[in-house]
Structure 1
């Protein structure tokens, strides 16, 4: 693999030198002085400093030197980042692949290296290392906060008739697989959006492509650190700790891979450093909300699981299993009053509602007491889910998660699937559509939150089918529902419904 990378580097150098000499602008890194324009001016754009120092060709030559050394009979005992630092006579012990490495968290002066290019290259190492260290610290904080909230979380979002069951903990494995993989990549979106150069349309595409490389590597590494089902067979607090530990471990592994000197690591590192990107991207970072972002990602996945395992008594309707769903109404933001959809509980309609895209959505669970003589559901009603109200999910609690976040993610996935349920972002494999940044919308990414969506007509139909199927199977409602499609089925719309929504 080292020789493969060397071949890529040499091919790149040959192509750039003879096909388009302006790419490296013939700057000899060895002829540049720290007093030259841009180099010691931190106010200058990273791209200008990078070009002035000849840093692109310098880094290619340095990594080619590393690859040659690794392929030799007597390779250096230094790690990759130490080796590069040593090439520029910089400080010792820059072991950037270790999260706690002190020297790799401290920037250096131009005079600390033998070439200005080395000064910019090594400070780029430091910038990336500090970013990863902040992510790690944010995850540690998030883990501590979430573990302290688990009892309250269950009391609010997952009330159940006695005896309470922790059977849904096994479903946390899917959360772990999803969040540890995508969550390991998502932090780069924060870095991307924090960077002032992301607002520049001339640099956006280049920055996007570079960051997507880091996201792909982060996703791949994260997937290899998910816990097993047997790991999660415990109480919720312990299970949550294991998920976060897996996520944190994946950050260690990502950093190790990035600075390992492997082909994938060097290519990703190069993409994050080219044109001085790391110098600018990490300059404006505010990662203090990383803890909240991490909590938000996980809570958004846990809520549907918790609701699905809840049982509550509503008025005179017996306690039974909930079926969380999102009711979609064509009206533009009608959340109460005489025009409120008849299915929705009028006492809580404002708390259950989200207005989005010119339509109204109600997050809740349906109940009905049986079928009438003409096989229509009797007393069909949609109630607020435990804690699933705007007052609780208000943007301040639970990592900042809102009811609107849940609706937008679920609906946008539903829309991408041809206005049908079943779309999920869990099919994401780490590759990128270069037209968009991976996981750019975070929790609101289409399908990141998976809840069934349908109209009142579809709930009506599914309730009838569900009840008749139960009677035919002689099974009590609320038990063994794996083969039933209540409450929404595929959520497909009739032609009249499509027209009423303007889809």
Structure 2
């Protein structure tokens, strides 16, 4: 009967795996007892327990039964996870697609199901539910912490004599929202895979990465579908309200992810089967501690918020008021923060606090002055190694901002304007791919995109533009949007210094 049912359903639901006509490992789950080797040994490899129970076959045939059930007269009474729980005679209301508390928050024992495979399958569902519930709660905590810090944030990073007429906080953040969701998902799966120590088993690690990438890709798509909506100006220009809208959209995306994962559609079943295959979810979540996700979520948002804040701020230097034009100025020499090689428009007092040494070069994060008798390159408000020291503001550092911008510039052939493709695995400017989508987090090339320039390129661009030196010059106003550096490409005589 099972063979006939499998053949019928494979023809009816072609998205379901075809390898279900017989147990691939020779284990019939209906004949396995709870006292079989490995089954009740929580310290055993999850893959050994999964195989001993015949869980792969049990799940695949249950999924076929699910397809049959959906076509029946009562096919709308039970959701997918509830149907699976019912198939194994487990507890009622096993509704894993809901974010709230319920039976899917707690594990089952072997004695509470009609075959041992059932408790491994259901506990895998529980693990995934608990994992994403923790993420959802972490986002809520991050939102509360950030909203409570917005006054201090504006004082630190966006000082201004008068509030800007239009800062457009929310509309600017919307443009990177789906990448924020994707990077948040990648961070979670990176932690899970590393803490489960799956790297030691190359085959297992590859399966886990493939499964995790399916989940991250799904999160990416859902993030795109949950973009916050640009709202009235009074909300757009209120940073605290904008933060609330952004995080509410992220919370909704996380809720929708869980709902879709356990929806029982053909696409969702393919991702879910990958996440529970060989007991992976049991290993991934056993030692999982998502306590750091609260900080990581804040770091992701702050990394995008700071450039917006700087553009909305103003500062007085040497009796001249300046509008911030944040940028990264690159010097080819390695770690030049003092001495004769230090550019004369950066003071010795400021150099170390606004510099990053990376890839054999020196990078200064700051803003150029555009008027007055003396032009210089100053630190941005709060944009220093002292303030962004990795202990505050979600752990964000100016090194994070420099590396993401610079590697995106490299990846774009030494030009600004790199755009991250969906589901990118690239981890550096050479195009090297990692194992997971967006696994480098906020240091993913191009996730942070500040204007970037060299001294010679800035001088060449400005000479063409106004016939003056790049930094030391007098302008009638400070209304330029960015440092006039063209596309940030190198001049011909700079190519060798930068390895091109």
Q: Same fold (TM over 0.5)?
A: yes
Matched, 1:7 2:6: no
Shift of 1:178: 3.9
Matched, 1:389 2:372: no
CA distance in 1 between counterparts of 2:95 and 2:144 reads: 28
Matches within 5 A, 1:112-131: 112-131=112-131
- Tell me the residue number matched to 2:34: 34
Structure 2 CA distance for partners of 1:432 and 1:404, relative to 1, 3 Å:
closer
The one-character-per-residue Cα deviations of 1:146-185 (angstroms, maximum 9, x if unpaired) are: 0001111111111123254442323233243542454355
Structure 2 CA distance for partners of 1:436 and 1:384, relative to 1, 3 Å:
same
Structure 2 CA distance for partners of 1:339 and 1:476, relative to 1, 3 Å:
closer
The structure 1 residue matched to 2:396, chosen from 388, 392, 401, is 401
Shift of 1:127: 0.4
- Tell me the residue number matched to 1:499: 496
Matches within 5 A, 1:246-395: 246-316=249-319, 318-369=320-371, 379-395=374-390
Structure 2 CA distance for partners of 1:163 and 1:11, relative to 1, 3 Å:
closer
Higher mean C-alpha displacement, 5-14 vs 40-49: 5-14
CA distance in 2 between counterparts of 1:332 and 1:403 reads: 17
CA distance in 1 between counterparts of 2:12 and 2:124 reads: 20
Shift of 1:429: 2.6
Shift of 1:330: 1.4
CA distance in 1 between counterparts of 2:96 and 2:57 reads: 22
Structure 2 CA distance for partners of 1:227 and 1:391, relative to 1, 3 Å:
same
CA distance in 1 between counterparts of 2:370 and 2:203 reads: 57
Where structure 2 has 5 or more consecutive residues not aligned to the other structure, the ranges are 1-8, 427-432, 469-474
The one-character-per-residue Cα deviations of 1:211-267 (angstroms, maximum 9, x if unpaired) are: 000001111112211211116524110110110011001111110001111122211
Does structure 2 conserve the Cα–Cα contact (< 8 Å) formed by 1:6 and 1:68? no
- Tell me the residue number matched to 2:486: 489
Does structure 1 conserve the Cα–Cα contact (< 8 Å) formed by 2:182 and 2:217? no
CA distance in 2 between counterparts of 1:200 and 1:364 reads: 45
Structure 2 CA distance for partners of 1:500 and 1:450, relative to 1, 3 Å:
same
Shift of 1:186: 4.3
- Tell me the residue number matched to 2:448: 449
Higher mean C-alpha displacement, 168-177 vs 340-349: 168-177
Structure 2 CA distance for partners of 1:133 and 1:188, relative to 1, 3 Å:
same
CA distance in 1 between counterparts of 2:417 and 2:113 reads: 56
Shift of 1:319: 1.2
Matched, 1:161 2:157: no
Does structure 2 conserve the Cα–Cα contact (< 8 Å) formed by 1:331 and 1:358? yes
- Tell me the residue number matched to 2:415: 420
Does structure 2 conserve the Cα–Cα contact (< 8 Å) formed by 1:46 and 1:279? yes
Root-mean-square deviation over aligned CA pairs: 2.3
CA distance in 1 between counterparts of 2:101 and 2:93 reads: 8
Matched, 1:134 2:134: yes
TM-score, scaled relative to structure 2: 0.90
Does structure 1 conserve the Cα–Cα contact (< 8 Å) formed by 2:404 and 2:444? yes
CA distance in 1 between counterparts of 2:187 and 2:417 reads: 23
- Tell me the residue number matched to 1:61: 61
Structure 2 residue matching 1:86: 3-state secondary structure? helix
Where structure 1 has 5 or more consecutive residues not aligned to the other structure, the ranges are 371-377, 470-474
The one-character-per-residue Cα deviations of 1:45-94 (angstroms, maximum 9, x if unpaired) are: 11111111111111111111101110223325111111101111111111
Structure 2 CA distance for partners of 1:307 and 1:10, relative to 1, 3 Å:
closer
Structure 1 residue matching 2:221: 3-state secondary structure? helix
- Tell me the residue number matched to 1:375: none
Structure 1 residue matching 2:365: 3-state secondary structure? strand
Does structure 1 conserve the Cα–Cα contact (< 8 Å) formed by 2:177 and 2:224? no
CA distance in 2 between counterparts of 1:284 and 1:111 reads: 24
Structure 2 CA distance for partners of 1:442 and 1:163, relative to 1, 3 Å:
closer
TM-score, scaled relative to structure 1: 0.89
CA distance in 1 between counterparts of 2:75 and 2:237 reads: 47
Shift of 1:467: 4.1
Higher mean C-alpha displacement, 453-462 vs 224-233: 224-233
